[in-house]
Amino acid sequence: MNNLRNKAKDLLENKTVNVVIGYSEGSDNAVRAAFITDPGDVQQLIFDERCVQNLAFYLMKHEVKHYGKIAIAASLPVMRTILQITSECQVKEENIVVLGISPEGSYIEFNNFKDLETYIATANLSLPDADALRMKEIEAMTQEQRWEFWTNELSRCMKCYACRAACPMCYCTRCQVECNDPQWVTVEATPLGNLEWHLMRGMHLAGRCVNCGECARACPLHIPINLLTYRTVQSVKNNFNVAAGTSASMESVLSSFNSNDKENFIR
């Protein structure tokens, strides 16, 4: 952690960046995002098992972009998000310094996004153990059982859209669910409307989701939304051999065409 703090201090003192985004202590033993602009405040930066929020969420915020060049403390999901949103032209490499943090909590120096891509190429991109176990249980179900499982889970949704608000990949200025001419998705929380919303969101994240888990952590009803999205991640990987957040120049899977695609998923 001292290596991270020292690097952050150097970047601010040398005016290389204007702000460092990291984690700091909040109230009631919670962790909050910190926006450090004074080199003397870098001691506020922490990193431990509580630091799970995807800080890349803030990189596209209007207020944060106005800081100028940004350094950001980046665990693996944050690293992947940075590459993914760069590939989608939402941020530029020259405006970001990545302060890498390994799964063990040690600082990793990255000189550029190529270094970042090389690191991610050898990283473990699988789900956390608890999610992987639950995903295995769901996949072991019959098609009818899975349908019943997901319709029951999603019927509890009250459409608070906390999942959308927490997701760094849901950055549209106006979501499709807010378009009412025509009305694509029902406003009220109904079993069919809930299913429409979550399936639509899952498709919008196909080939883009980096498995950070923010959607599930944000859900006040503890619906495992991240596992539904992860299923689209698996499909994209199996059919197109593409994993989100592994390259700053990757094309969007669902909006690009390759004549060599097998298309064996079409029935």
Which three-class secondary structure string do you get for 65-90?
HCCCCEEEEECHHHHHHHHHHHHCCC
Distance of alpha carbon 8 from alpha carbon 44, whole angstroms = 11
DSSP character at residue 46: B
Distance of alpha carbon 214 from alpha carbon 168, whole angstroms = 8
Task: Record the pTM.
Answer: 0.91
| Residues 6 or more apart in contact with residue 22 via CB below 8 angstroms | 4, 8, 33, 34, 36, 44, 45, 46, 47, 55, 72, 73, 99
Q: Model confidence over 200-217: pLDDT tens digits? A: 899 899 999 999 999 999
Alpha-carbon distances of 170 from 58, 160, 175, 218, rounded to whole Å = 12, 14, 8, 14
Mean residue pLDDT of the chain comes to 91
| CA nearest to 56, candidates 43, 65, 45 | 65
On the question of pLDDT at 79 being above 80, the answer is yes
Token output for 102: 């390994």
User: Could you tell me which residue, 255 or 33, shows the higher pLDDT?
Assistant: 33
Distance of alpha carbon 200 from alpha carbon 185, whole angstroms = 9
Binning pLDDT at 50, 70 and 90, where does residue 265 land? Answer: low
| CA nearest to 189, candidates 221, 160, 222, 162 | 160
Q: Model confidence over 94-146: pLDDT tens digits? A: 999 999 999 999 999 999 999 999 999 999 998 899 999 999 999 999 999 99
Contact 122, 205 (CB under 8 A): no
